[in-house]
Amino acid sequence: MPTDTPDVLRLADIDPAELAELLAQFGLKLELCPANQPIPHSYWGKQEAGLKDNRLYARDDTPLHSVLHEACHFICLDPARRRELDTNAGSDDAEENAVCYLQILLADEVEGFGRERMFSDMDTWGYSFRLGSSRAWFEDDADDAIRWLIRHDLLDSRQLTPIQLRQA
């Protein structure tokens, strides 16, 4: 791994079979890609996860925050956009905020990850929030994301994540 690569948790740092089980609950199939090969359908390229249809592509060096971010795009898409999904989820700002919020919640479902490490990795990688950090945004400025997730039945008022996809 190059020395200029941020120190974040990667797919190789956890049991990918457990992550695959979590993703499968949402109808996503984790496709492991060979080292040093391009990741298919990656919007950002390099080490970032890719999406096409119900397939999430990643390598051992793919950051876990990237895997969960792309998984949450899949979860947050309406059925019509999900059917057409190829590389770019095409979300607006409100949906992007919801994706970020949901990825933090789902981090708690990944053994060895959790939201504390997600906050750290998102900040290290360069996610940008107006309050300066992912934790500050999550705790004090994410009301719009919470409302979006509740409106689309992806979160309840107690901030529990149902295991389902957006339906409409």
- Report the pLDDT value the prediction gives residue 164, as an integer from 0 to 100: 78
* pLDDT, mean over the chain: 91
Instruction: Convert the pLDDT of each residue in 14-42 to its tens digit.
Output: 999 999 999 999 999 999 999 989 999 99
pLDDT at 91: 85
Say which residue the tokens 């990656």 belong to.
42
pLDDT of residue 3: 40
Please state, in angstroms and rounded to a whole number, the distance separating the CA atoms of residues 125 and 27.
27
- pLDDT, one tens digit per residue, over 121-154 is 999 998 888 888 999 999 999 999 999 999 999 9
Q: What is the pLDDT of residue 142?
A: 95
CA distance 52 to 157: 31
pLDDT digits (tens, 9 = 90+) for 51-88: 999 999 999 999 999 999 999 999 999 999 999 999 99
**pLDDT at res. 128:** 85
Q: Is 107 left (phi over 0), alpha (psi -120 to 50) or beta?
A: alpha
**Between 166 and 99, the higher pLDDT residue:** 99
Contact 26, 72 (CB under 8 A): no
> Does residue 161 surpass a pLDDT of 70?
no
Whether the pLDDT of residue 162 is over 80: the answer is no
The DSSP bridge pattern shows strands 55-58 and 29-32 to be: parallel
The amino acid sitting at 155 is L
E-strand spans in 8-72? 29-32, 50-52, 55-58
Angle of helix 16-24 relative to helix 64-76, nearest 10 degrees, comes to 10
CA–CA dist 59, 31 (Å, integer): 8
Domain boundaries, the chain: 11-151
